[in-house]
Amino acid sequence: MAYLKGLDLPYNSMLSNASNYGGTRALSKIKYIVVHYTANDGDTDTGNGSYFGRTAVGAGAHMFVDEDSCTQSVPFTRVAYHCETKGMKFKCDCRNANSIGVEMCSDKVNGQYVITRQTMLNTVKVVKYLMQQYNIPADRVIRHYDVCGKLCPEPWVRVPSEWTEFKRLIAEPEKKEDGEVVETINITVNGKQIKADAIVKDGRTFLNLRSLENAGFEVGFDNATKMRRLDNKADELPIVVGNKDVYIAEAVNIKGYNYVPIRSIAQAMGKSIDYKDGIVSIKE
């Protein structure tokens, strides 16, 4: 049993038969996550992983999820054949090439397919993990039904409130164990807009230090302080931004990540900050 960093669910890797998936793609091409169901009765993620591994069926999905684990069948760098159904009219620009396919294992109760609550909650975990990894907003998590009208996942087309509940759960901000809520905010640094993980603590905005790298800054720690671990309380953090040594006041470490007050980082860089229309800007 293995775990992926950031995914709180046992993870198995069982590569699909090579004829079941397509060519390579850049991870940056991934725009959508498409949720499916297997239309089986009591199947498992590993059972599907094994089946697609040994059987050439010309179809498949990246991930299978059941009540106790998930299995990856197709690498995310490869195109899976999961949502382009022949003869169907497309409702949006989601295709196999720009999406990740996630299959939920299903059961049959009184002649009707169901997705159990536990499988649904595990799919929330997998989808939230993928949203985080590939920067997919909740409104680009869709059903196969929303791609081309196919009745998939059938229980979530028949009972739309189950789909609504799933959408509500994936949109909830990540709750850290110590109660800090990490949210994604838009900030502008030197005119370039980036998305940053931030925590609002005591009315102040703390940025995940790694977000600055997305803005094109090289962030490093000098040798003397490399091993230094901040506590979850205000402390001074010496870092190197670009080729400049800066001292960030009141940095905190929350669950292994360094967070810095946005005001301190702007000051250390000799810049000012500006709030307008919900966007924080760091300016000259």
Task: CB nearer to Zn ion: give 31 or 144.
Answer: 144
Site size with Zn ion, rule: CB under 5 A: 3
Least distance CB 101 / Zn ion (angstroms): 8
Site string for Zn ion, 145-164 (x = CB under 5 A): -------x------------
* Residue number with CB closer to Zn ion (147 or 239): 147
Of the two residues 103 and 197, which places its CB atom closer to Zn ion in the complex?
103
In the complex, the smallest distance separating the C-beta of residue 253 from Zn ion, rounded to whole angstroms, is: 42
Shortest Å, Cβ 150 to Zn ion: 6
230-253 b/e with 16+ CB inside 10 Å = b? beeeebebebebeeeebebebbbb
- Where is 274: in which H helix or E strand? strand 272-276
Which of residues 152 and 185 has its CB atom nearest to Zn ion in the complex? 152
Residue closer to Zn ion by CB (options 152, 260) is 152
Contact segment (CB under 5 A) with Zn ion among 31-39, 131-139, 236-244, 265-273 equals 31-39
**Beta carbons within 8 Å of 192's beta carbon, 6+ residues apart:** 215, 216
Beta carbon of residue 126, minimum distance to Zn ion (angstroms, whole number): 16
Burial class (CB within 10 angstroms; exposed 0-12, middle 13-18, buried 19+) of 83: buried
Task: From 15-23, 33-41, 92-100, 157-165, give the range in contact with Zn ion by CB under 5 A.
Answer: 33-41
| Closest to Zn ion by CB, 145 or 217 | 145
DSSP single-letter state for residue 15: P
Q: Least distance from C-beta 9 to Zn ion, angstroms? A: 21
If one counts every other C-beta atom within 10 angstroms of the C-beta of residue 77, the result is: 12
36 binds Zn ion (CB under 5 A): yes
Q: Please give the residues from 108 up to 147 whose contact with Zn ion meets the rule CB under 5 A.
A: 144
Q: Contact between 196 and Zn ion (CB under 5 A)?
A: no
Label each residue of 55-89 as H, E or C.
CCCCCCCCEEECCCCEEECCCCCEEECCCCCCCCC
d(CA 44, CA 70): 9
Residue carrying the six token digits 């909740």: 138
Kindly state the smallest distance separating residue 144's Cβ from Zn ion, in Å.
Answer: 3
Mind giving me the DSSP string for 188-207?
EETTEEEEEEEEEETTEEEE
Touching Zn ion, residues 160-189 (CB under 5 A): none
Residue 145 Cβ, how far from Zn ion at the closest point, in Å? Answer: 8
Dihedral sign of CA atoms 243, 248, 253, 258 in order: negative
Taking the least distance from each CB to Zn ion, the nearer of 68 and 84 is 84
Residue-level length of the chain: 284
**Using CB under 5 A as the criterion, which residues of the chain lie in contact with Zn ion when the complex forms?**
36, 144, 152
